[in-house]
């Protein structure tokens, strides 16, 4: 199919929405401090020297402080043992100044990431990866929700309105970080949900039926224009670095230039990415309010 220019009105500006969400969080944290004399605390644990992780942690630290949330950063050497890391988690679990705990992934290969995640107090699990939170989300109970799917849902509601009931959503990708929790969030909104993945035999046909198409597979340009139904809302979670003509650039899982007939689409970068840290801070505030039984909505 021909390349369609994407109208500005069709582009979902995640950077703008995230900035508004951060402003709201900052105002609510200030109100919380005025009313209770306390602010939420977020502890971020980084093990090793992974360059991308170090950048992410630095960005989280700066935005946490900017929102008025207390930030506790723990940078551990790559040779940290499982026992040492678990001991730190145990200390943070009972630290009254800390309402949210995040362990930056990936961890060095000798560490068991799943065991570390399950060691975190589920009430402080602001990444939403603990099996208790996954189970609560799957059964429709209040849970701390993984940040990226939560950000996707907020962008969808901003574009489509609060009522998503009856819309057909296709989620491409079945990871525990995005795909599976995204399905649960959409089911809770009374969408009709199909999940597709690398073993799905008719993925293009399924995607063409979607009113909402969420793509999180980590394969640059996998979803072509003819996979997208005219008027569909497309949320591209992919962040892929590709090399072309000696230059490096970031692209999504959707062939963006071919999606001019979509009703709306998130760009990469500038779409879902900025929402993740904003939703992390939102989760930290939510965790504080639940732990202290306060309501500042």
Buried b (16+ CB within 10 A) or exposed e, 259-274: bbbbbbbbbbebbbbb
Given the residues 99, 104, 211, 236, select the one marked as catalytic: 104
Nearest CA to 234 out of 251, 205, 255, 203 is that of: 255
H helices, E strands: number in the chain: 9, 10
- From residue 235, give the alpha-carbon distance in Å to each of 155, 259, 272, 285: 8, 12, 8, 25
Annotated catalytic, 174?
A: no
Out of 60, 124, 174, 229, the active site residue is: 60
Q: How far apart are CA 133 and CA 140, in angstroms?
A: 10
Query: Which ranges of the chain would DSSP assign to H, the alpha helix?
Result: 14-36, 51-66, 82-93, 113-119, 131-138, 147-160, 179-188, 203-207, 273-292
Question: Catalytic residue among 99, 124, 125, 127, which?
Answer: 127
> Residue 201 to residues 82, 196, 204: CA-CA distances in angstroms?
40, 9, 9
The helix or strand, by DSSP H or E, that contains position 212, with its residue range, turns out to be strand 212-215
CA distance 128 to 120: 10
- Give the Cα separation of 221 and 251 in Å (integer): 8
Provide the phi-psi class of 293: left if phi over 0, else alpha when psi is between -120 and 50, else beta: left
Residue 127 among the catalytic residues: yes
Query: Residue 117 corresponds to which tokens in the numbers above?
Result: 């995640």
Rounded-to-integer distance, Cα 135 and Cα 137, Å: 5
State the Cα–Cα distance between residues 129 and 120, nearest whole angstrom. Answer: 10
Annotation marks residue 15 as catalytic: no
Residues annotated as catalytic are: 60, 104, 127
């Amino acid at each position: 199919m021909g390349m369609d220019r994407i109208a500005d009105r069709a582009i979902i500006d995640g950077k703008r929405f995230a900035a508004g969400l951060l402003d709201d969080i900052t105002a609510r944290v200030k109100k919380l401090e005025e009313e209770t004399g306390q602010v939420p605390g977020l502890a971020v644990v980084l093990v090793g020297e992974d360059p991308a992780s170090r950048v992410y942690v630095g960005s989280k630290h700066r935005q946490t402080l900017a929102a008025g949330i207390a930030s506790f950063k723990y940078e551990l050497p790559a040779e940290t043992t499982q026992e040492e890391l678990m001991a730190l988690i145990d200390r943070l679990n009972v630290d009254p100044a800390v309402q949210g705990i995040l362990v930056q992934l990936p961890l060095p290969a000798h560490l068991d990431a799943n065991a570390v995640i399950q060691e975190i107090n589920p009430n402080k699990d602001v990444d939403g990866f603990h099996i208790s939170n996954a189970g609560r989300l799957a059964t429709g109970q209040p849970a701390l929700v993984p940040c990226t799917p939560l950000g996707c849902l907020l962008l969808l509601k901003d574009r489509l309105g609060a009522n998503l009931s009856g819309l057909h959503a296709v989620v491409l990708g079945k990871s525990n970080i995005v795909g599976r929790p995204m399905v649960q969030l959409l089911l809770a909104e009374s969408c009709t949900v199909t999940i597709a993945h690398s073993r799905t035999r008719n993925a293009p046909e399924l995607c063409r039926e979607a009113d909402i198409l969420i793509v999180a597979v980590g394969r640059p340009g996998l979803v072509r224009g003819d996979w997208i139904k005219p008027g569909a809302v497309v949320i591209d979670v992919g962040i892929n670095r590709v090399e072309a003509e000696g230059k490096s650039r970031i692209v999504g899982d959707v062939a963006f230039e071919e999606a001019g007939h979509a009703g709306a689409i998130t760009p990469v970068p500038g779409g879902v990415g900025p929402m993740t840290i904003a939703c992390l801070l939102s989760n930290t505030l939510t965790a504080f309010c639940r732990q202290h039984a306060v309501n500042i909505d």
